[in-house]
Chains A and B, each alone.
Chain A
Amino acid sequence: MDRRHFVLSGIALAAAASIGATLGIYGWRQSLSADDNNRELVLSAVLPALLYGALPEDATLAAAELARTKAAVNDFLLFLPLRQQQELHQLFNLLANRFSRLGMTGHLTQLADLSIQQRLALLDSWRDSYLEVLQQAYHGLRELLYGAYYGQPEHWQALAYTAPRFR
């Protein structure tokens, strides 16, 4: 089919425009395959923001919920079509990459160095971006991460919900 091979290349191109085409293209070509460290880095930065207000205040409990959610994300990704898996790998890799981060976030600092409010503002800026690819990233990440978090029965206490059990 006549489809863009790299849906998120728009991000890389935005990065390229801001820091020079060579580096941008370099980052873009690097970014299709899974990199566990990059995914871990991005999830560790985005989840506490997305789940702010849902995670327990107790740091140990919150860490356990985050770990459970990350494991659920990793397990779920493999069920997506390869096309979508590649797009997500690319998003994680780009967000973890120092150069493309500038294009996406306007920051050269690590995502983890941003405050929770700055991270939420960043997500909101993707939602409201004129770039379709950033809007897709906002909705794609949101759905993936909220699905992974609220899929776990251990996280349902705040909902006052329990699934029925009869066997």
Chain B
Amino acid sequence: MTSHLDASRFTQDQQFEADIVIIGSGAGGGIAAEQFAQAGLKVLLLEEGAYYTRDDFVMEERWAYPNLYQEGAARKTRDQAIGILQGRTVGGSTTVNWTTSIRTPQPTLDYWQSEFGLKFTGVNELTPYFEKAEQRLNIKPWPVAPNANNSVVQHGCEALGWQYTVISRNVNGCANLGYCGMGCPINGKQSMLVSTIPAALALGATLISRLSVRKFSWQGDSITGLDAVAVDQHFQPRSDIKVSIKAKHYILAAGAIGSPAILLRSEVPNPSGRLGKHTYLHPSLISGALFAEDINGHAGAPQSIYSDQFVWPDSDHIGYKLEAAPVHPVLMATKLLGTGEQHAALMQQFNQLQVTIALMRDGFHPQSQGGSVLLDNQQQPVLDYPITDYLWQGARRALMSMAEMQFAAGAKQVLPIHHDARLYNSWHEARAAIERLPMQKYRQTVASAHVMGGCNMSANPAKGVVNQQGRHHQLQNLSIFDGSILPTSLGANPQLTIYGMTWLNCQRLLAELAKV
């Protein structure tokens, strides 16, 4: 039985039929594939990326970024002011993420209830589904001591009396290598690639990789089919091989840039005007710190400690979460400042470099309404995300907090990743300098690893694309199960939210389909 097909090997056009077709194999699509396969439905799982597995994962960025990430890990917002790390491979971003697993913060759910009429109580209670996902993916607080990179976050917080938490990770037999971002070479990470997808395939689901879904056909209130094309060896859509697929129910799980793009290309009904709008990024600031001793930020679990000291401020200011980020040659070389000798000198201190990031919780303020997914001339998505003054003010405060924490943990020097900054020798010096840094795009480096929104859920069809169950407000046989349905960012790394919410929504959908 062939349960995996590589569309790039098709030699002629193809047609498929299924009960359920799932577009995208990341956190949403992966969970859904197993749920529907377990229910005995004929499932077709489509993925634009390739089906790479542990033997392919060579722990080198030069292979991982072009082969496992969207746009070679060089995806940028429209004006190129924000870099976006997003997976594009079987397992989606779960194959390359840093394993941090956090339930949806209660204040975020409360905000959604007040703003979007979403109630996560009774049959929509998420807690049992978080528990199921945690059990399925072995999500537990990391029992091993944090690596030196994460210890800095812990020690800085301890010295300052700031809140911090040991991170729960979806790993089983983790060897503490530190290369999660390049694909786990020992199947320790319980990504969709090694858990739900193989389980779904064993239950009879079919996976088609290297297939780019271009558009839906629809009529009235129903999707009638979808058109897809094979991609070439560089993951560019080809025009020679076409694939058409029909299903009873369509599940879109192509991520918060990919899912809106497919719907925009399909020109589906959009009475709320919110399709592809209100896309959130957790725009993130970076602060480097040099220590006397080796940090070796490339070794060990990449994230094991976070601080929520500033995520939910009492004031109107934007909140931000503090985490460590792993230190690998390409990741660092592209983010460190300067050129020529200045850059080379920083790179030579690679092993003494600690990296902290601050993820801003966007989407909770009138001046933080996110970005918009647009289509370029090739009909490929590009995210326009203007950075408002409100966000820039948060960025400055975040740089301050990170520098203060790094010095409190014993840093010799701190380097805010801003093109007008330099190495500062004390918290006093850093604070004075950060106060004066011009907060402008390009000068201030901003990055993102979490894309959310663009097909937001809302009880009221006038204020969203899908309902609380992820079902499209206008197209009855379309559900969206991925980060695109989130009405704001989360203030937490998103994978566990998507796992739990998708699991719940799969059960609700199965119950509704059984009634038909």
Contact = CB atoms under 8 A, between A and B. Distances in A.
Interface of A: 1, 3, 5, 49-54, 72, 75-76, 78-84, 116, 120, 123-124, 127, 132, 135-136, 138-140, 142-144, 146-147, 149-153, 156, 158-161, 163-164, 166-167
6 contacts: A75-B66, A142-B334, A151-B61, A161-B298, A161-B350, A164-B299
Interface string B375-398: 111101010000000000000000
B13 interface: no
A5 B377 CA distance: 8
A100 to B, nearest CB: 20
B344 A51 contact: yes
Contact of B340 (A3, A120, A132): A120
Nearest to A55: B344
A150 B380 contact: no
Interface stretch (B73-81, B278-286, B508-516): B73-81
Given A53-B345, A82-B380, A83-B378, A147 B330 contact: yes
B66 A163 contact: no
Interface majority SS (helix, strand, loop, mixed), chain A: helix
Nearest to B178: A164
A52 B71 contact: no
B106 interface: no
B339 A83 contact: no
Given A1-B375, A159-B329, A81 B71 contact: yes
B340 A52 contact: yes
Contact of B234 (A79, A158, A160): A79
Contacts of B374: 1, 3
Nearest to B440: A135
Interface residues on B, range: 35 or more
A117 to B, nearest CB: 9
B351 interface: yes
Interface string B239-256: 000000000000000000
A79 to B, nearest CB: 4
Interface in B47-78: 59-62, 65-66, 71-72, 74, 76, 78
Determine which residue in A138, A156, A161 has the highest number of CB atoms from chain B within 10 A of its CB, and name it.
A161
Interface in B320-374: 329-330, 332-334, 339-345, 347-348, 350-351, 374
A93 B329 CA distance: 29
A3 B344 contact: no
A116 to B, nearest CB: 8
Contact of A123 (B71, B298, B334, B339): B339
Given A5-B377, A136-B80, A120 B234 contact: no
Interface of B: 59-62, 65-66, 71-72, 74, 76, 78-80, 83, 177, 179, 185, 234-236, 298-299, 329-330, 332-334, 339-345, 347-348, 350-351, 374-378, 380, 382, 419, 442
A83 B350 contact: no
A76 B66 contact: yes
B347 A54 contact: yes
Given A52-B344, A158-B344, A83 B330 contact: no
Given A3-B377, A82-B378, A161-B298, A146 B71 contact: no
A135 B60 contact: no
A160 B298 CA distance: 12
A82 B236 contact: yes
Contacts of A151: 60-62, 65, 329-330
B59 A164 contact: yes
